[in-house]
Chain A
Amino acid sequence: MQMPETRAPADDLHAQALRRDERKERLVLLGLSGPALLLLTVIMILPVAWLLGLSFIGDDGHFTLVHYQRMLDQPSFRRIFFTTFQVSLITTLLCVLAGYPLAYLIAQLPERAASVCLIAILIPFWISVLVRTYAWLVLLQRKGLINQWGIAMGWWDEPLALVHNLTGTLIGMVHIMLPFLVLPLLGAMRSIDMNLIKAASSLGASPARAFRTVFLPLSLPGLIAGSVIVFILCLGFYITPAVLGGGKVIMVSNQIANDIEMFFNWGAASALGVVLLALTLVLLWLAGRLMRLDRMLGGVN
Chain B
Amino acid sequence: MAGVNAVPITARGLRKRYGSVRALDDVDLEVRPGEFLTLLGPSGSGKTTLLMVLAGFIRPDQGSLLFGDEEVIRLAPHKRNIGMVFQNYALFPHMDVAGNVAYPLILRGLKGPALAERVERALETVQLSGYGERRIDALSGGQRQRVALARAIVFEPRIVLMDEPLSALDKQLRERMQIELRRLHDKLGTTTIYVTHDQREALTMSDRIAVINEGRIQQLDTPRALYERPISRFVAEFIGESTVLNVTVGPSRDSCICAGQVLKLAQTASREGAALLMLRPERLKVLAADAQIQQGQNQLQARVVDNVYQGDSFLLQAQLTDGSVIGLRGIAGTAELAALPARGESLRLGFDVSDTVLLADADA
Contact = CB atoms under 8 A, between A and B. Distances in A.
Please say whether the chains A and B touch (CB closer than 8 A): yes
Interface in A241-266: none
B62 interface: yes
B76 to A, nearest CB: 9
B63 A21 contact: no
A15 B62 contact: yes
Given A18-B59, A21-B59, A13 B71 contact: no
Contacts of B59: 18, 21-22, 25
Nearest to A3: B71
Contacts, number: 33
Interface string B58-73: 0111111000011101
A18 B71 contact: no
A14 B63 contact: yes
Nearest to A7: B71
A156 B125 CA distance: 85
A3 B62 CA distance: 18
A35 interface: no
B12 interface: yes
B69 A1 contact: yes
B224 interface: no
B62 A5 contact: no
B74 interface: yes
Contacts of A21: 59, 74
B129 to A, nearest CB: 40
Contacts of A14: 62-64, 73-74
Contacts of A3: 69, 71
Contact of B60 (A4, A5, A18): A18
Interface in A1-29: 1-5, 12-15, 17-19, 21-22, 25
| B interface bracket (residues with beta carbon within 8 Å of A) | 10 to 19
B69 A13 contact: no
Contact of A18 (B12, B61, B69, B70): B61
A13 B70 contact: no
A12 B62 contact: yes
Nearest to A1: B69
A90 to B, nearest CB: 50
A291 B59 CA distance: 39
B141 interface: no
B13 interface: yes
B92 to A, nearest CB: 22
Give the interface centre of B12, B63, B71 by most chain A CB atoms within 10 Å.
B71
Nearest to A22: B59
A6 to B, nearest CB: 10
B147 to A, nearest CB: 30
A298 B326 CA distance: 50
Interface in B1-60: 12-13, 59-60
B74 A13 contact: no
A12 B13 CA distance: 10
A4 B61 contact: no
Nearest to B69: A1
A103 B60 CA distance: 51
Contact of B61 (A1, A5, A15, A25): A15
Contacts of B61: 15, 18-19
Contacts of A25: 59
A21 B71 CA distance: 15
A2 to B, nearest CB: 8
B56 to A, nearest CB: 11
Give the interface centre of A3, A18, A21 by most chain B CB atoms within 10 Å.
A18
Contacts of A1: 69
B61 to A, nearest CB: 6
Contacts of B60: 18
Interface in B101-158: none
Given A12-B62, A13-B64, A18 B13 contact: no
A12 B74 CA distance: 14
Contact of A5 (B12, B13, B63, B71): B71
A19 B73 CA distance: 12
A106 B259 CA distance: 73
B63 to A, nearest CB: 5
B9 to A, nearest CB: 16
Nearest to B13: A13
Interface in A35-49: none
Nearest to A13: B62
B62 A4 contact: no
Nearest to A11: B13
Nearest to A5: B71
A21 B76 CA distance: 10
23 contacts: A1-B69, A2-B69, A3-B71, A4-B70, A5-B71, A5-B74, A12-B62, A13-B13, A13-B63, A13-B64, A14-B64, A14-B73, A14-B74, A15-B61, A15-B62, A17-B74, A18-B59, A18-B60, A18-B61, A18-B62, A18-B74, A21-B74, A22-B59
Given A4-B71, A14-B63, A18-B73, 11 more contacts: A1-B69, A3-B71, A5-B74, A13-B13, A13-B62, A14-B73, A15-B61, A17-B74, A18-B74, A19-B61, A21-B74
For the complex of A and B, the 9 pairs showing the least CB-CB separation, nearest first, are: A15-B62, A13-B62, A1-B69, A13-B13, A22-B59, A13-B63, A18-B59, A13-B64, A14-B73
